[in-house]
Amino acid sequence: MSKTPRASQTTTTTKRRPAAGRGPRKSKDTELACNSQEHELVGAAMNHTLAGNPLVSVRAVDLAGSAGYLLKALGKTPIKAGYHLGGYLKELRGIVGGTSSIAPDPRDKRFADPAWQSNFVLRALLQSYLAGQSELTRFIDSSNLTPLEKGRAQFVTSLLADAMSPSNSLLTNPAALRKLVDTGGMNLVRGIRQFTHDALNNRGMPAQVDSTPFKVGENIATAKGEVVFRNDMFELLQFAPTTENVYARPLVMSPPQINKYYAIDLSPEKSLIKWAQDSGVQMFVISWRNPTSEHRDWGLSEYALCLDQAVEVARKITGSPDVNMWGSCSGGITLAAYLGWLAARGEGHKVANTSWAVCVLDMPSALDDSTLGLFTTPAALRTAKASSRRKGVLSGQDMARMFAWMRPNDLIWNYWVNNYLLGNKPPAFDILAWNNDTTRLPAQLHADYLDLVQLNPYSNPGAMQIAGESIDMTKVRVGAYVIGGTTDHITPWQGCYGTARLFGEDTTFVLSNAGHLQSLVNPPGNPKSYFYAAPATADDPEAWLQNAGERQGGSWWPHWREWIQQRSGANLPAPKKLGSRKYPPLCAAPGTYVLER
């Protein structure tokens, strides 16, 4: 394992005397540590926002069975188990003698505090923990289990190891001990208070965000526009032009049903909606209704037909014979269903060009080499369908809870330390507030999504019907611009490249150096941003990357602006009013459905 240099000086904890008439002072070091902790929490959570593929729950019986695989390995290969136990005991001798070089991964923020290296007791505790984790992992890898059994055993082992990390304990977390002294124990009082609140109000999960500063329509989701159409399933928002002239062909956006649309309008400086407005693009965005159990029968067909209604309204208001469209994540899955339906009916002329953000249409590829893929069995799919059918909906809270246990260090134990041991409030950050504003999925749509895993209909013509029409994506003829993210583990970029390949070699594929949400919310100005862009001519994604040319610095937004402007028709004077006589404005954006919880 890699060796981390030892800190040059020892970190000490001293008790500070409170100033007269005031509570315990926060030291400068403590304040800096708090800021660093919040920054790390936000960064980790942004990489793990709720999205389109965690739709299959991991059942308790699967976890129990996975633990059984570990016992099976012990029973089948006791000699190997003894060998690795001996390796662990040998490492312990080195740890006690101070000769062990075992060290945490430099990227593991749990052990970034210098005290983990400078303090002998903490260093020995950390090294013992890492040694045990390493030997157990290597034992499972060397066992006679099948690859699937090994994957499940490793998952259960990682859950236990993450929970047992010494960083999760008040008595062995140096930052928590330091703050206990600095605050005179008030951090522990606040931590207990927050733990009690979460136990009563958040089903025992640590809160990930302080959402109180954010008000939809007041300081987030503030782009100017109007609701120009509403039915039981969605509102259609038309956004006001900010330029003297606009392009004739409008853009209609299909956002995910799993989250609310305003991820693309968090604030003016990182609003994709405002970017489109300032680009002269006439922008229409669907805002899905948050369904309840009475809407259990809304399925993929119903949602695809909603897109047709939105397209018809946009065409009538703008006078354009066709539109461009955008699909993000699961909203892209709906868009693909709609395009297949149009092609089957001979109405493909309604949509000229499409943009696809972090969207995988080859659903099995989104699960390959992932934790969820280990548990996506026919039995698990049946159980997941039955559960949502019984309740009528799949709740956003249930999805978020299950997803958190797929990434416990980033989405659970980070907050355990921050909220309870350090006594800090969870960060107040707009993206996290949006991610916490979850929605429900109707039971039928959930079932339809799960069928995509088994049928893979976008790659297998005729495997699925939408509103009575057989879907064959080979008949879809649209221009396409597809975005993926290098660090996106939710919709892996290789899977997004597969989406690009569905629409032919003229498709533009863009690979951004970001995770799932950051690939979408990627405004200019970040000096660390860069991307690759090239036609999707190679069969293999890695081959595409090798031949994509030089990386381009900055955000891909300006690159997309040029692409969409070239495909948006003639320049016309911007309309003075939104809507039309047939579709008058009903209320101001962001509308009413986005406020439903």
The residues assigned a catalytic role are 329
Q: Residues 19, 22, 26, CA angle at the centre, nearest 5°?
A: 75
**Cα(122)–Cα(111) distance, rounded to whole angstroms?**
10
- Burial of residue 566 (CB within 10 Å: 0-12, 13-18, 19+) is exposed
**Cα(286)–Cα(235) distance, rounded to whole angstroms?**
6
Among candidates 57, 51, 59, 54, which has minimal Cα distance to 438?
Answer: 51
Among candidates 9, 233, 43, which has minimal Cα distance to 115?
Answer: 9
Q: Please check whether residue 24 is in contact with residue 15, taking contact to mean a CB–CB distance below 8 angstroms.
A: no
Contacts of 549 (CB under 8 A, 6+ apart): 532, 534
Ramachandran angles phi, psi of 274, nearest 5°: -65, -35
**Cα(89)–Cα(80) distance, rounded to whole angstroms?**
14
CB-hemisphere CA count at 13 Å for 169?
9
Count CB neighbours of 527 within 10 A: 7
Residue 108, CA distances (Å) to 4, 126, 248, 543 in order: 12, 12, 51, 31
Count CB neighbours of 341 within 10 A: 24
Contacts of 505 (CB under 8 A, 6+ apart): 535, 536, 537
DSSP 81-140: HHHHHHHHHHHHHHHHHT-------TT-GGG-STHHHHSHHHHHHHHHHHHHHHHHHHHH
Q: Please check whether residue 300 is in contact with residue 448, taking contact to mean a CB–CB distance below 8 angstroms.
A: yes
Q: Please check whether residue 535 is in contact with residue 509, taking contact to mean a CB–CB distance below 8 angstroms.
A: yes
Encoded tokens for 358: 């972090």
Residue ranges with strand state E in 347-400: 351-357, 393-394
Strands 530-535 and 587-588, by their bridges, are unpaired
Residue 260, classed as helix, strand or coil, is coil
Among candidates 358, 351, 329, which has minimal Cα distance to 284?
Answer: 351
Among candidates 143, 134, 142, which has minimal Cα distance to 92?
Answer: 134
Residue 482, classed as helix, strand or coil, is strand
Count CB neighbours of 437 within 10 A: 21
Maximum distance among all Cα pairs of the chain, rounded to whole angstroms: 83
**Cα(224)–Cα(230) distance, rounded to whole angstroms?**
18
**Cα(425)–Cα(411) distance, rounded to whole angstroms?**
15
Ramachandran angles phi, psi of 362, nearest 5°: -90, 85
Residue 402 C-alpha from the chain's centroid:
13
